[in-house]
Structure 1
């Protein structure tokens, strides 16, 4: 599934939450979507827990390799 389709589905979910549940539901769906995105990136191996605590170190390692 392309990222455009995933973005469209996420936008539709947020729209439905905002329309039927109000602004609080919109924020809840957006926050849970962000948590799910980060969890998915951890599961795929794209993120590591240290990435949140050492923000610039990963970029410096990539510059050294070039």
Structure 2
């Protein structure tokens, strides 16, 4: 699926949640969408969680 289509679907979901459920539902849908995005990227192998928890010096040493 094209990323533009995915973005459009996510925007529509947030819009419906905001309209029918209020601001709290909007925030819940946005937070769950962000969590789902990160988990999906991790499962596809595009995201290395170790990169997020290393210090700046450890990342510099790894590049050398």
TM-score with structure 2 setting the length: 0.84
Q: Which runs of 4+ in 1 moved over 6 A?
A: none
Give the number of equivalent residue pairs.
Answer: 61
| Gaps in structure 1 of 5+ consecutive residues | none
The one-character-per-residue Cα deviations of 1:16-63 (angstroms, maximum 9, x if unpaired) are 0000000000000000000000000000001112121127528x73xx
Alpha-carbon spacing, 1:55–1:29, altered in 2? closer, same or farther (3 Å): farther
1:40 and 2:36 correspond: no
> Aligned pair 1:19/2:19, yes or no?
yes
Structure 2 unaligned regions, length at least 5: none
Q: TM-score, normalised by structure 1?
A: 0.82
